[in-house]
Each structure stands twice: as structure tokens, then as C-alpha cells.
Copies of this chain bind each other. A is one copy, B any other.
Amino acid sequence: MSVDETARNKANVEALRRLNEGTPVLTGVKPAGEVLPGMQPNKVLTSGWPMPWQDYSGGQRRSLIYGAMYEGLAASEEEAADKFATGDVLIGACHDHGCVGSVAGIYTASMPVFVVENTAFGNTGYCNFYEGGSPRRLNYGVYDDEVRDQLIFIEKVIAPVIGAAVERSGGIPLKPLMQRAVHMGDELHSRNTAGTVLFHRELIPHLLPLYSGMAGPVEETDRFLKENEYFFLRLSMASAKSMADAARDIEHSSMMTAMTISCNGFAIRVSGLGDEWFAGPPPVVEAQLFEGYTQDDIHWIGGESHITETVGLGGFAQAAAFALQRYQGGSAEAMAATNTKMYDITLGENSTFQIPFLGYRGTPTGVDIFKVLETGITPAIDAGVAGKDGGQIGAGTLRAPIECFKAAAAAFETRYC
């Protein structure tokens, strides 16, 4: 028997509508432990599908250990490893806790997260904060005094100021900022320059009245936002998570609703196939590496920032962001070609995110797993790349592996035939 095409098409129309109509609004900044569904004081969240402790290796394993140490759940790497093994410290998958991980994506209970409500559908997405410009960051599998101090600075200075400003604002609608950022050279995954400046500007009227009571922190926050053009990524990710989640669990829909990377490979989730992850090998990568690194240094320690591609941004909006060439290599022609190819595997065009270079055509949005299989074209993903010894070592375009789509299609046929 074959899949019911009519039911699938109808379901996919609905899934795309939900992706398109999502309306992310930043409503607060809160500790992860207070707001993430299912979060616990002794839990560390990481990217990837849920796995037992023994399945984590290399940099992602180290990142989990570092997270436990940062949170004070263990005093040493050995103690942390023991506690993960015994279950005294728990591991959670970001996607199961309403959030998405950037690279290793470490969340602990005390870390501040953005609370982004999808007001059109009533669900919420979360993301933790960008750590700063150093290539040595916890989410890239590095931990030392400097990394810890920076995380504390984010928690004690940046997050409270932005939280207070957001509270004063009554909520900051992010979709208009994202739309405009795409007209200003961002694809909101690997380029967030315009998004960051526009968000910064949005805060001004709420920062001004805070200044007399907390001049130092407000000035530091202003400086941090100015120095970190990647800042908006986490708002883009939380927004995308909130939009993608609203398109989940539509019976008969073959639209992809999430992608994830762990130390063990790549996986996708499909709207009509519930919570199941369909795994494959790690992505193929074409990256521009920072000086001194080679392809052999690339190391997979997790990643879920490509929730942006899932909603029609990132690699699906490269032709809006030619400035990215400098960061991740390639040429304008190649970027336009990569971007345009994505129309072949998507259900439609985004009604909000448009590409001026393509005559304001909406970005290709809503990957259909069957279109991927028919064309052999897999999603293009803009991403940062981690190194063997931790830290960011470059950036480039990843390609999702076809195996995930094959596995998902098989499950789809089993379920709906």
C-alpha cells in the first residue's frame, strides 16, 4: 500500500501554515531551573537525541562534565563522571526540555534562558545566552576559570539587565526584528549582526530608566551587545524552536520539525512521527577553518542551532547574507545556488522571511522528507565548527545526511500505509 497523498498534502499545508504563522515574543529572562519543562537542579542538558551516559564520548562527554562542575554538582571531572554514571546527576536532551543547544548546548539549572512565547499557538521556546566572542566557550567544550567567570558574568550582569529591560517592555516581538534582519544581511544562524543591533535598539527605551539605579551593569550590557554580533543567535534559536514546535504532531505530515547533532551523528524529527528521532552519520561539512586548523581537527560535540534552517533561515536564507562569505568561505554565486536548491525540498515559501536578492521571494520553508529523497538534496546548514581539543575552529556549511531521511520515510510508510 502507498501513503495517502491527499492526507499528507493536507497535513503538510497545515504544518507549513503553523511554521509560517508562528509569532515569537520575548517575554522574559529566567533561570533554566525555573522555567524549562522537566528541568531539575541536578540535570545537565545537551544537544542530540536522548542517550545514556555511556554513549557520550569526546568533547560532548567533557562538556557534560564541565556543566556539572559549573553548576557545583561535582568538584572534579572524575566525580562528575561518577555521578553521571550512577544517575546522581541526570542528563537531558535540550529538545525534550523546550530548548535547543548551540553546539554542545550545555544547560544547567542556574543558567539564564530567554523565554520566547509563540503567541499565535501558545507554546514557548527557550535558549540560553551567547557566552561571548572567545572561541573558548563551554558550549564548544572548553572549561577553565575564564570560561566560568564569563558564564557568571552573563548570569550576574548581562541577564539581569536584559531581563529587567524586557520586563519593562512588556514583551518584545521578535518576528519583525527577524524579518528586518533578513533584509539587512542576516540569515540568523551564522550571521546575526543586524538582529543584534536591532534588538539592542529595541532595548534602549527600557535601558534608559534603569541606568540611574544600575549604571555599571547597564553600561556593561550595552558594551557586551555591541561587541558580540552573534548575540541575537540565541533569540533566533528560541524563536525558531517555538515556531517549529507549534508544527509538531500533525498526523500525516511529512514535514521535518527538528534536526539535531550529537557525538554519535545527526538526527531529524518529523511532524507526523511524534517524538522519534531518525538518526544517521555526522553531517558532511565544507568549512573555512581558523588559521592553524585542518579538516582532521573537526570534532562533533553536538548542535541544534539548525532549528533556524528548520523554519526557513540559516542555509535556507544564505542569499540574504552574502557578507557571510568572509566568515564561512564560499562565494555569492555558490550561496545563491545553495539557497535556491532548498526550494526543491521545501513545502513552500516563508510568508515573513524574504530575500531581497531573489526579488523578496520568501525563504524556502518546511522541509518535506519525501522531497529530500526524491531529489537527493539534503538541507544546507550554516554552522560553527568545534575542534578536537575544544573551542571553535571555524565555520561553514553542513549537509544533513540522507540516511536520516531514509529512516524517517521508512517509519512514515510503516505508520501511514
Contact = CB atoms under 8 A, between A and B. Distances in A.
Contact of A211 (B185, B211, B325, B357): B211
A219 B208 contact: yes
A184 interface: yes
A415 interface: no
Contact of A194 (B194, B200, B204, B331): B194
What DSSP secondary structure best describes chain A's contact surface? helix
A170 interface: no
A122 interface: no
Given A211-B208, A211-B211, A326 B360 contact: yes
A197 B325 CA distance: 23
16 contacts: A183-B185, A184-B185, A185-B194, A197-B201, A201-B201, A204-B204, A208-B211, A209-B211, A209-B215, A322-B357, A323-B356, A324-B356, A325-B356, A325-B359, A325-B360, A332-B356
A198 interface: yes
Quick one: copies of this chain in the complex? 2
A377 to B, nearest CB: 23
Nearest to A209: B211
Interface string A168-205: 00000000000010011100000001100110110011
A251 B359 CA distance: 45
Contacts of A193: 180, 183-184
Contacts of A197: 194, 197-198, 201
Nearest to A202: B226
A358 interface: yes
A154 B209 CA distance: 23
